[in-house]
Structure 1
């Protein structure tokens, strides 16, 4: 190979290297731009994710505060209800006792008068009036006596203490009431103690 040919080959090789180097530089620049675009694209979703994460944290804190307030309100309600229930049980008989106080007053007056006065008939009338007053108070609270004599024996309402022979009643009929039974509204407060025909 002569010198001229060598120079041409060297020049062609140099041009080829420049083209390759230029292509490499262009390719690197393209890769850098793509990486920058990808980083920008990646940073946009990361920013959105961070923003959404902050909003969710804020919402979780608000829900936690709401829960704590609701829990405190419920605890206060439970304590208040327990206290009211306790007070109600403690003073449940308040109304009845207020109604019975005039009866007690009348008994005291009757006893005071009976000491000074020996009029037994007046005392008996006074006690009868007080009894009627007491009966009215109890009736207003729903207490009523049972009517047992002449009715069939019922173990829910009667307590049999004796069986007696009876010509005028058939078997299983209450013939005598030894102790009166009472109903409070529709519930048996005390069964009647009775004698039943056999």
Structure 2
């Protein structure tokens, strides 16, 4: 080993000034590029998820509409049969139409919207639509005296409110 003179500088592992800054800058630029790439991929994946969800919702709606329509087909078939027999016997046609009405009400009930029986119940603006008032001897004021048009659905999911005539006090 040779001795170093006073003018010689000992070698170090440090890079010349400015080289570290450039390497750090390149490393940071690489990290930024990686993060941007990950961000773009995540954004594209999110967009694909949104599109897939929208397609699934649309497909589900179409399937539900088809199921509801299929539930009504027997009702339509029976109405056609009733019309075919309309000229032969009017009493049997009336019977047939009543049966079809019962079938239609049954389809609504199967879909979760049963026909409401509101006669005599206390008037409730959340489930009833008042179309008139009447005084009748023996009726309790504030109750449904007559149902003009039936309502459908349970109290928490009204498909259509019942149109009713409400009992009042004598004037």
**What value does the CA root-mean-square deviation take over the aligned residues?**
3.1
Measured after TM superposition, the shift of residue 56 of structure 1 is: 4.7
Normalized per residue, the structure richer in helix is 1
| 2:6 equivalent in structure 1 | 30
| 1:64 equivalent in structure 2 | 36
Q: Deviations over 1:55-81 (max 9, x none)?
A: 554444333222221111111222232
Q: Deviations over 1:88-134 (max 9, x none)?
A: 4556422110111121122112212324xx22222223222222222
Aligned residues between the structures: 166
What SS does the aligned partner of 1:96 have? helix
Measured after TM superposition, the shift of residue 167 of structure 1 is: 2.2
Taking structure 1 as the reference length, what is the TM-score of the superposition?
0.68
Q: Choose which of 146, 149, 152 in structure 2 pairs with 1:182.
A: 152
Partner Cα separation in structure 2 for residue 186 and residue 93 of structure 1: 22
What SS does the aligned partner of 1:30 have? coil
From the CA coordinates, give the structure whose radius of gyration is larger.
1
User: Does the alignment pair 1:191 with 2:161?
Assistant: yes
- Does structure 2 retain, via aligned residues, the 8 Å contact 1:173–1:197? yes
| 2:52 equivalent in structure 1 | 80
Taking structure 2 as the reference length, what is the TM-score of the superposition?
0.77
Q: Choose which of 105, 119, 123 in structure 2 pairs with 1:135.
A: 105
- Does structure 1 retain, via aligned residues, the 8 Å contact 2:109–2:115? no
| 1:9 equivalent in structure 2 | none
- Relative to structure 1, is the Cα distance of residues 57 and 43 closer, same or farther in structure 2, using a 3 angstrom cutoff? same
| 1:98 equivalent in structure 2 | 70
User: Does the alignment pair 1:171 with 2:147?
Assistant: no
Partner Cα separation in structure 2 for residue 48 and residue 103 of structure 1: 83
Partner Cα separation in structure 1 for residue 155 and residue 20 of structure 2: 71
User: Does the alignment pair 1:157 with 2:127?
Assistant: yes
Partner Cα separation in structure 1 for residue 79 and residue 140 of structure 2: 43
